[in-house]
Amino acid sequence: MSVILIDVALFSFLLLTAFAIVRLRNLFAVTMLTSVFSLLSAGLFVTLDAVDVAFTEAAVGAGISTVLLLGTLSLTPHDEKPATRSPLLPMLVVFITGAALIYGTMDMPAFGSADAPIHQHVGPDYIERYPHDIDMPNIVTGILGSYRGFDTLGETAVVFTAGIAVILLLHRSTLGRRRREDEEEDL
Amino acid sequence: MEDLTFDFIIARYNYWLVITLMMTGFYVVVSRGNLIKKIVGLNLFQTSVFMLYISAGKIIGGTAPIFTDNPDEVYSNPLPHVLILTAIVVGVATTALGLALIIRIKETFGSIEEDELLKIEHDYDTTGKMPTAEGRP
Amino acid sequence: MHHHLILRIVSKFLIPPILLYALYVQFHGDFGPGGGFQAGVIFAAGFILYGIVYGVSHLRRVLPPALVRALAALGVLIYAGTGVVSMFLGFNYLDYAAFASDPAHASHGQHYGIIVIEFGVGLTVFAVMTAIFMAFASRAPEIKDTDW
């Protein structure tokens, strides 16, 4: 029961933060609230036994994302312009989507039950085979590196590609300037 | 459909709260015209999806999937954790890419509001002239 | 940056423990929570703190952008190269059992393999995060002391 209380408390903080993000138009405040949201969700992940995920969310969501958003804000306007369109249509779309999703949860297995389909096949199989296959206690690291090594190789390549793309978009290279000067000389 | 008993709600409230958060992020994405606000909304949506996955992996009475000395220990399902862990890092990399595009849009068109950008595009289509942006270096 | 004595001194105290903690997270990830993804981000956070407090030009002197880009590629290369090495040893691609000194204890080989690829992941994530920060920060005008 105490787990449920902690859960509900964290969720109410998360909801308050999310609603404040919707309402506020000062983007600095929105950035800081996004950081708070990430930190709270990291807390939620700990209560849900996902310590590795919580760690990553705290470092990435609350740390790096905030720095990047602040970096963007130093180059763009700090305030959002007031909305010109009526919020009715978005509201309607959101409510219909939300209602459909909630209707979908009616058939979902109860939260935290050990006999849900997700706990029947791959996951428990990994846990069973793990001590024989790999001699390290952290199952998440083992699955990440070994059983799902191809996945992680792909993800690393995605991070690398995104980094290259950002550098290409934002880097002020001396090469381009030099080439332009050369062209002017040719003329 | 089963009746809305207390047990039924206790077994589902987690999903409902996650969906509420998800829809809040979705609302920010579809209703706000500011591009940075849209990225923030996408982040909210993304984090809620992570919560949904992690909720599915939780076993009540279980513990974090790090082996202990107790052989009878029940561990929560580690598979969603692995998937989401990599998704978070890929998520921040793609967010950075989105923000980089926003900076370039601001430098080229002088605005990051959707309405103004649409107007600039419309003007370009009708007159064939690109407005000179104030933000251009 | 000549003002803000407290900020400079405090960050000087903070950066070494941040980097040390990142190394701990990197190489202790097989026993507790952690691993390459988290460690790379924390290691980058140390350098980003340095860049924010002392300015990007100082950060560029510590970490030349060319080096950062090379490190990002090197991380992916280490990861993919591990798979190639295991293939040359007669195993499947990324089958770390190849690195066991004693074939009866394949699980030790798995451990070595995971340490190596986690190092590759950490290197790439660190380099990409630092490069992204540098790219963003070099666009913005440097913050002057008087602006604070």
List pLDDT tens digits, range A75-121.
888 888 887 788 899 999 999 999 999 999 988 888 888 888 888 88
Q: How far apart are CA A52 and CA A58, in angstroms?
A: 10
> Which residue does chain C place closest to B81, by CA atoms?
C33
- Comparing CA positions, the residue from A107, A90, A75 lying closest to residue A22 is A90
pLDDT computed for residue A14 by the predictor? 95
Domain ranges, residue C52: 5-147
pLDDT at A59 over 80: yes
Mean pLDDT computed over A112-140: 85
8 Å CB contact of A76 and B10:
no
8 Å CB contact of A71 and C44:
no
8 Å CB contact of B11 and A113:
yes
| B47-56: pLDDT as tens digits | 999 999 999 8
Q: How far apart are CA A171 and CA A153, in angstroms?
A: 26
Closest chain C C-alpha to A65 CA, distance in angstroms: 10
- Comparing CA positions, the residue from B80, B74, B73, B75 lying closest to residue B55 is B80
| C86-137: pLDDT as tens digits | 999 888 898 888 888 877 777 888 888 999 999 999 999 999 999 999 998 8
Domain ranges of chain B: 6-127
Secondary structure of residue A130 in the 3-state scheme: helix
Mean pLDDT computed over C5-30: 92
Decide if A60 touches B, using CB distance below 8 A: yes
Q: How confident is the model at residue A15 (pLDDT cuts 50, 70, 90)?
A: very high
Q: How confident is the model at residue A181 (pLDDT cuts 50, 70, 90)?
A: low
Mean pLDDT computed over A42-69: 91
Helices (H), chain A: 2-23, 27-47, 51-59, 65-73, 88-105, 122-133, 139-142, 149-170, 174-186
Burial of B32 (C-beta count, 10 Å sphere; 0-12/13-18/19+)? buried
Q: B6-127: what CATH class? A: mainly alpha
Q: How far apart are CA A164 and CA C133, in angstroms?
A: 12
| A141-169: pLDDT as tens digits | 888 888 889 999 999 999 999 999 999 99
Domain count of the fold of chain C: 1
**For chain B, what's the residue count?**
137
